[in-house]
A and B are shown apart, each in its own frame.
Chain A
Amino acid sequence: MMNFEKIDDYLANRLPADERKAFEQEISGDPALQEEVAFQQKIVEGVRHARAAELKQMLNNVPVSSGGWSVGRITAGVMVAGAVATALYYINIKEAPINPDKDVPAVIVQPESPDTAPAAAEPEVNVPATEEPTRKSEPAKRKAVTPVQKPDIQVVDPSAELTETAEQTDPSPVSTTMTVSKMEVVTTPASKKYNFHYQFSEGKLMLYGPFDNSLYEILEINGGSHAVFLFYRENYFLLDEGQHEITGLTAIRDGQLLMKLKEYRNR
């Protein structure tokens, strides 16, 4: 085997810049070496690919319910995808707020750990160049393709939901912390009889309808009283926890309530 160490260092990105350049020149003038490097490179890429896949698998096995979105529960073989549980604390949704000088009820949302809040972390528009592993498999002819218009990505300020505590300078009489909804949700695909229905059964929320096709959120609101709402396709639905019969879902139309719900959901 020729130059094993050199080729290996080269492919493992462990050659100093000047040696790297010199070696590249050597390769370009030596077809046999070129072939060997190409072969080794494929192996190294294979190893890298396997490692990336392994890391991804590792992350996939990490439960994320404590972080925010609660996803992927498997109940009776039904994959509950897209379940999002958000718990919000508030005082009372309909009654006048406790602080009359504020137009919203006093709320303290304390996400994750406060010291991690990226203070006003404005995502850079000039994003650092990244070389994601998938790049190599992209079609080589890509450059020849007429450039498509760049999809416009709407920036979500990642700090928005984490800086909440910082902005809340006014100490509220009710000090609560945000917890994640522990509510278990089971979805059942729409049947003729139950195509957009719900019930509470054995402490679980059962949803009947096309819920695995798009995202839904369960807003659990605690505080002076407890209420559960479903957010689905831009509509809000009240979920009565005392409802043990399968009941149809009707979107909330009360403008005032909707405004409040929107406010909480966007926190």
Chain B
Amino acid sequence: MNEKDLFERIQKGDEKALEVIYKKYYRMMTKMVVTNSGTEEEARDVYQDALVVFWQKASSGNLVLTSKMSTYIYSVCQNLWRKELERKKRLSNEEADASESMDLDSGEREKIIAKCLEQLGETCRKVLMYYYFDELSMQDIADKLGFANTDTAKTKKYKCKQKLDELVKAQYSERDFLD
């Protein structure tokens, strides 16, 4: 499979193609982190994050490749690792990070939303993820999930979102931590 095919599959939200890319460049990308004072675990983490960024950009149609995929992914890895190194340095410079309590809040919120998503069931979860994160077109969503047409996909998305809102609102009023 050549670059172009792979990239087109990614743009359509084909996760198998992402796995192919992941394997293909694993060594190349992790090496950059490992040779820049990272552990292998950090290297894997950075590489995976970079691929998720790449995936989101490509599937949403916001990425026009002007270079090879590997070059692009490599530069994302570099950026992420540079940021991580900066973060580490900052943490060692200032003992207490004032942002920590804020992070906890958003982490908590994310957990709750993830839980609500689980409750929605597989189809709803997928529709919403494809719609908001992958930013796939309604046609691609319909294709991937086997809906009759884009109208079905739209309706489904609308209903699923309403349900999610309700679930989250119920959680929020219970927990009372919405800022």
- Interface set of A (CB-CB < 8 Å, partner B): 4, 8, 11-14, 39-40, 42-56, 58-60, 62-64, 66-69, 71, 81-82, 84, 112, 115-116, 118, 121-124, 127-128, 130-134, 136-141, 145, 148, 150-151, 153-156, 158, 161-162, 214-215
Contacts and interface: CB of A to CB of B under 8 A. Distances in A.
A214 B40 CA distance: 9
B145 interface: no
Contacts of B70: 116, 118, 121, 158
Interface string B27-62: 111111011100111001000111111011100100
A50 B67 contact: no
B114 A141 contact: no
Contacts of B72: 128
B34 A215 contact: yes
A43 B164 contact: yes
Size band of the B side of the interface? Answer: 35 or more
A115 B55 CA distance: 22
Interface string B125-138: 00011011111000
27 contacts: A8-B161, A42-B113, A45-B110, A47-B164, A52-B52, A53-B114, A54-B129, A59-B19, A59-B48, A67-B23, A67-B27, A68-B27, A121-B67, A121-B74, A123-B74, A128-B72, A130-B57, A130-B75, A132-B50, A138-B99, A139-B102, A151-B89, A153-B36, A155-B78, A158-B70, A161-B28, A162-B28
A36 B22 CA distance: 39
B71 A153 contact: no
Nearest to B45: A56
B71 A121 contact: yes
A154 B40 contact: no
Given A51-B132, A71-B44, A148 B89 contact: yes
Nearest to B51: A59
Contact of B113 (A47, A128, A145): A47
A153 B78 contact: yes
A46 B22 contact: no
A158 B29 contact: yes
B86 A134 contact: no
Given A123-B78, A130-B76, A132-B53, A58 B165 contact: no
B109 interface: yes
Given A69-B30, A118-B71, A137-B103, A127 B78 contact: yes
A44 B132 contact: yes
B88 to A, nearest CB: 9
Interface string B63-107: 000011011101110111110011001100100011100110011
B128 A67 contact: no
A137 B49 CA distance: 14
Shortest 3 CB-CB contacts between residues of A and residues of B: A68-B27, A46-B113, A139-B99
> Counting chain B CB atoms within 10 Å of each CB, which of A4, A40, A64, A122 scores highest?
A64
A154 B48 CA distance: 20
A64 B145 CA distance: 28
Contacts of A46: 109-110, 112-114, 117, 168
Nearest to B85: A151
Contact of A127 (B28, B79, B86, B106): B79
B3 interface: yes
Nearest to A84: B40
Contacts of B143: none
Contacts of B129: 47, 50-51, 54
